[in-house]
């Protein structure tokens, strides 16, 4: 009887997983189509920026031949449906093509140059804000209506959470890079400095990353803090908490061993989604600070109407977010038995 019940549960889970996988595949296919079509609605000619730059440099000889060569090389002379099929064929082979603006650099090379900066910046800031926000939120939520310092902290973090992160980034840039020139205005490291594993280069990179990181942490910290505070406040009235208090357990033990561990599951789900969104980067923050991550690459490719780079970057973001959601949807029912596995899981 027990074996049959377990087989029924496994069957329900597999059907649930199959449904989620079909949604994942459909999402990717629709995204690929949109990623191909939308850049082509951007005003401007993908070759215009190149030839405008050549004209500024005094190059006018052979422009017609160059236009013809670029047009044929990137298939821009073909009907839209043929370009789409060619795009799909390249994707199947794992080929994102060549950049128009930075030819002969490939899209994959440009993304791989930008991706480490985005992942490094956002991984650290996401984990830091999540850890600090969850800890502070748990303490303040457990001692609701307590010390004046806690109430001041709630107001301050609520204020930073409501401020758009790009506004906060501009304020930080003005204060600590322009008015008080403590940190650099832009870039990931100083001009003329060669990338290496030396202490000098690492410290220089960290100094350039302080303001972009701070702008992201201050905004996201408020969300994690308010979220954990709300969860802890709601959990305080649960029966198992009241039972632990009746047994005479210390408040600190009840908070960290019972309340915090149960509130951590929704927070962990939010963290997983945030980590899945890391590849997308903080586009406006990177643009404001001139930080050479994926957001900066997308911004420049949109300015230059560089179809392949826009397509490759956007597709990478969409796939990473969709994959993160699929993994979370797949794993969550296994770690939380309270989750219903669709209609078949209702009792």
pLDDT at 337: 55
**Looking at the structure, do residues 95 and 132 belong to the same domain, yes or no?**
no
pLDDT at 144: 65
Whether 345 shows a pLDDT value over 50: the answer reads no
Give the pLDDT confidence of 121-176 residue by residue, as tens digits: 888 888 888 888 888 888 887 776 566 776 777 788 878 777 777 788 888 888 88
pTM of the shown model = 0.74
* Domain region containing 36: 1-101+307-347
Q: Indicate whether 150 and 249 sit together in one domain.
A: yes
pLDDT per position as a tens digit, 13-63: 777 788 888 888 888 888 888 888 887 777 766 666 666 666 655 555 455
> Are residues 96 and 147 both part of a single domain?
no
158 and 79 share one domain: no
Same domain flag for 192 and 296: yes
Asked if 291 and 311 sit in the same domain, the reply is no
Q: 340 and 269 in one domain?
A: no
Number of folded domains that form the chain: 2
Is residue 201 a contact partner of residue 106, using CB atoms and an 8 Å limit?
no
What is the rounded radius of gyration, in angstroms, for the C-alpha atoms of the chain? 25
How far the first Cα of the chain sits from its last, in Å, is: 17
pLDDT of residue 287: 84
Q: How far is it, in rounded angstroms, from Cα 122 to Cα 41?
A: 30
Q: What is the pLDDT of residues 89-104, one digit of tens each?
A: 888 887 887 887 777 7
Residue 78 pLDDT grade (very low, low, confident, very high; cuts 50, 70, 90): confident
CB 31 within 8 A of CB 322: yes
């Amino acid at each position: 009887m027990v074996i049959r019940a377990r087989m029924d549960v496994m069957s329900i889970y597999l059907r649930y997983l199959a449904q989620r996988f079909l949604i994942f595949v459909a999402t990717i296919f629709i995204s690929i189509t949109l990623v191909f079509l939308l850049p082509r609605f951007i005003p401007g000619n993908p070759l215009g920026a190149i030839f405008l730059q050549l004209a500024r440099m005094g190059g006018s000889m052979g422009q017609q031949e160059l236009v013809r060569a670029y047009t044929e090389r990137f298939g821009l002379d073909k009907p839209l449906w043929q370009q789409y099929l060619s795009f799909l064929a390249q994707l199947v082979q794992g080929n994102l093509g060549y950049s128009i603006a930075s030819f002969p650099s490939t899209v994959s090379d440009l993304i791989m140059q930008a991706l480490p900066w985005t992942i490094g910046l956002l991984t650290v800031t996401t984990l830091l804000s999540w850890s600090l926000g969850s800890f502070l939120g748990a303490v303040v939520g457990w001692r609701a209506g307590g010390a004046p310092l806690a109430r001041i902290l709630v107001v301050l973090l609520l204020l930073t959470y409501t401020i758009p992160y790009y506004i906060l980034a501009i304020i930080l840039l003005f204060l600590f890079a322009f008015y008080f020139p403590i940190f650099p205005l832009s870039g990931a490291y100083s001009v003329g400095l060669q990338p290496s594993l030396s202490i000098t280069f690492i410290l220089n990179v960290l100094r350039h990353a302080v303001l972009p990181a701070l702008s992201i942490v201050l905004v996201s910290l408020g969300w994690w803090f308010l979220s954990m505070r709300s969860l802890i406040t709601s959990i305080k009235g649960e029966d198992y908490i009241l039972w632990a208090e009746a047994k005479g357990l210390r408040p600190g033990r009840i908070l960290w061993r019972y309340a915090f561990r149960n509130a951590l599951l929704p927070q962990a789900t939010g963290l997983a989604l945030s980590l899945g969104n890391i590849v997308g980067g903080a586009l406006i923050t990177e643009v404001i600070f001139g930080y050479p991550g994926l957001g900066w690459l997308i911004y420049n490719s949109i300015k230059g109407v560089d179809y392949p780079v826009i397509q490759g970057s956007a597709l990478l973001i969409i796939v990473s977010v969709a994959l993160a959601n699929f993994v979370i949807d797949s794993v969550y029912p296994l770690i939380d038995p309270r989750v219903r596995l669709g209609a078949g899981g209702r009792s």
